[in-house]
Structure formats: C-alpha cells, structure tokens
Amino acid sequence: MVKLGVAGAYGAFGIKHLDALANIPDAQVNAVYGPNPNKISELARARNIPNVCSEFEDFLSQDVDAVILSTPTQLHCEQSIQALNAGKHTFAEIPMADSLADAIKMDAAQKTSDLVGMVGHVRRFNPSHQWVKRRIDANEFNIQQLDAQTYFFRRTNTNAKGEPRSWTDHLLWHHACHTIDLFIYQTGEIPSEVMGLQGPAHSELGIAMDMTIGLKTPSGKLCTLSLSFNNDGPFGSFFRYIGDSGTYLARYDDLFDGKENRIDLSDVAASSNGIELIDREFIDAIQQKREPNSSFSQGLAAMKVMQLLEDQMGVLKV
C-alpha cells in the first residue's frame, strides 16, 4: 500500500486524481491540502480522508509516502523540492515549472533524493495514444505529421469546473505543453526547429488568446499545433496522426481511423481513464523503485522546447 497526499485537492485536477486513486487498490489517500480551510475540510469529510491541511508544511509532515501536486504552476518547483527534501515521492502536474531553470532545479533535487519524481504528462497514458505508440514501437507506423487542436472558450480566469482560479493558465505553458511532450514521446526525437506565433493579449487576462506552433524533428517529422481560448464550440484537444501506413484521430481516450471508424482500445490498459493510468504508473514506480515513464528528467525535453518558444515569441505570463 502506498500512502498518498493530494495538494490542491479541491481544484479540477485534484478531484480527478482523487477519483482515480479511489480505483487503485494499492493507493490510500491519507491527507489533502488546500489553502482554503473550509473548502479542504468539506472535501475531506465527503471523501473520508483523515488528515486535512491548509498549510503546506503541515501537509508534508503527515504520514504519507508520496504527494501529488495539483497546485498553481508557479509553486511546483518550490513545493516539489520541499516534498523531496521531506522524503516524499513527488508527482507534479504539468507544466512541471514555468521556466526551464526551475525544471532543472526540480530534476536535480530528484536525483539527489533518489525518490520518484514524475510529471503529469497524461497524453502518454491515454489509451488512444498508447495504441499508436505500440504500433510505432512495432515498426508498423511511422509518423509523418501530428496535427493537434487545443480549443477552449475562456474569457474569464476560471478552471475546468467553471470556478475562479488564483492563477492564470496559458496556451503555451499549460496546453501546448501536452502536445509538445507527446510529439517528443511518440517520435523519440527532440525538435530541432521550432516556430511560434501568438495573437494579441487579452486586455484583462494579459495572455495571448490564440497561438500557432510548428515543430520539426531532425528526421523531418512535423507537428502543427493550433491553440485558442476563442473557440465557440466543443472544447478540448484533438490529435490527427498522419503516417506512412494510416491516419488516426485521437480524442482523449477514444481513437478513430482516418475514415472515422472507431478503434477498439479495450485491451490496451487496465483502465480507459488516462488520469488513473498515470497515477498507477506513479504508484508502480514507487513500489518497484524505478524511474517512471514521464519522470522529471524525461520532462526536461518539453521544457526546453517551451523555453525556446517563449524566448522566440516574447510570451506574456501572469
């Protein structure tokens, strides 16, 4: 049994992790943390979680082996290092930090601690993308281009639950991050050419509401990524894999061929929920004392690309 604490537990992704952990036999949530005492106490009562913390230092003193940080991005570096120094295996949601320099600090802290440090790159674990990865690894499919669309309609600073948030998410650092890591993971290459364009900044949020990103690997594989907070329609991320032996459309945990025929993913993994699968990997890595898929070290490649794009575009961050 791995005893866990979830920080930022009443946020949109904190709830997703609590739901996922409830389905994992080897996981036991012993503590939750959130800065609002009333909200975190209410959540703990509803979930029968014994230890409730509104101070992060108190949270780290609880009887837990590992922590999941679903906290604001600007806190990931400091909190990850604090957790590792406290002897806790650490999972940080994406992006692992809001700068390459801080991500490098996190990786160094993990190596010093010899504990598990993992980033929440859930696209690696979605059954749809796992199915494609297996075909790539079996030399049955070679990516020529990955086209991705990440679309929301967001004019106010709210989270996925429609609630106000204390930090501002960002098209590059919180959304392109998913696709950049996925492209690196699926191709096995770090892009050698990157290009980014952004639209005007929102007058109140102070971030670009539209963005286009292009990536090219040394072998010539392409990634085209369109992102918008202005899309008045279905929200989410949608991926089109164009390859030498077929085309595949991935929509979260569902997969279709190029003619919209559904592909059966029932035998790909223990669950159809990507969040549950990434949490299972975190727990397995702790139990097996090994580097996880999507470790801090592996996450640095995407951070380097995002830093290049930020430097190129002069991205505004709040």
Mean pLDDT, residues 252-274:
94
Q: Amino acid identity of 222?
A: L
Q: Is a pLDDT exceeding 90 seen at residue 157?
A: no
| pLDDT of the residue at 318 | 47
3-state secondary structure of 295: strand
CATH topology of domain 123-269+302-313: Dihydrodipicolinate Reductase; domain 2 (3.30.360)
Burial class (CB in 10 A: 0-12, 13-18, 19+), 8: buried
The span from the CA of 92 to the CA of 98, in Å, is 12
* DSSP classification of residue 93: P
Nearest to 31 by CA among 52, 56, 8: 52
| pLDDT of the residue at 170 | 83
Mean pLDDT, residues 204-208:
81
Please list, residue by residue across 202-240, b when 16 or more beta carbons sit within 10 angstroms of its beta carbon and e when fewer do.
beebebbbebbbebbbeeebbbbbebbbebeeeeebebb
| pLDDT of the residue at 167 | 56
Which one is predicted more confidently, 204 or 6?
6
Supply angle C-alpha 193, 109, 159, rounded to 5: 65
Confidence band of 38 (pLDDT split at 50, 70, 90): very high
> Which of these CATH numbers, 3.40.50.720, 3.40.50.150, 2.40.110.10, 3.40.50.2020, describes 2-121+275-294?
3.40.50.720
* DSSP classification of residue 291: P
Asked if residue 176 lies in contact with residue 315, where contact means CB atoms within 8 angstroms, the answer is: no
The span from the CA of 93 to the CA of 187, in Å, is 23
**pTM of structure:** 0.93
Residue 218 contacts by C-beta under 8 Å, 6 or more apart in sequence?
189, 192
Mean pLDDT, residues 102-115:
97
| pLDDT of the residue at 234 | 79
Average predicted confidence (pLDDT) for the chain: 93
Mean pLDDT, residues 160-168:
59
